[in-house]
Amino acid sequence: MFYVFYDQHLFNMTAAAIRDRLYDYIRVADDKKIKAIYMMLEDEIAEETEWWNNAAFVAELEKEYAAWESGKDKGYSFADVKAEIVRARS
């Protein structure tokens, strides 16, 4: 839930609607504003994009890889996934 006190319209918007408005704004904003927005979010962006620094996430990946490697989890090849997507679309 978003708590925005200065704009009742924004308070009633869904996260998807807010995201769309932000995308639209970022596409046309000048460089100075883009840099300011990035600076506000830089630490959070780094946390999300540097997954190798997230010990819990890495542990989960290692667990899933070990299950696949041992045969416990079958896994799927790229060709299998692509074929399933094609099948689902038709």
**For the chain, what are the domain ranges?**
1-49, 51-90
pTM of the model: 0.42
Cα separation, 5 vs 77, whole angstroms: 49
- Of 31, 4, 5, 29, whose CA–CA distance to 15 is shortest? 4
Show pLDDT as tens, one digit a residue, over the chain (90 residues): 455 455 555 567 888 999 999 999 999 999 999 999 999 988 888 777 778 888 999 999 999 999 989 999 988 889 999 999 999 998
Beta strands in the chain (DSSP E): none
Cα separation, 61 vs 55, whole angstroms: 10
Cα separation, 46 vs 31, whole angstroms: 20
3-state secondary structure of 15: helix
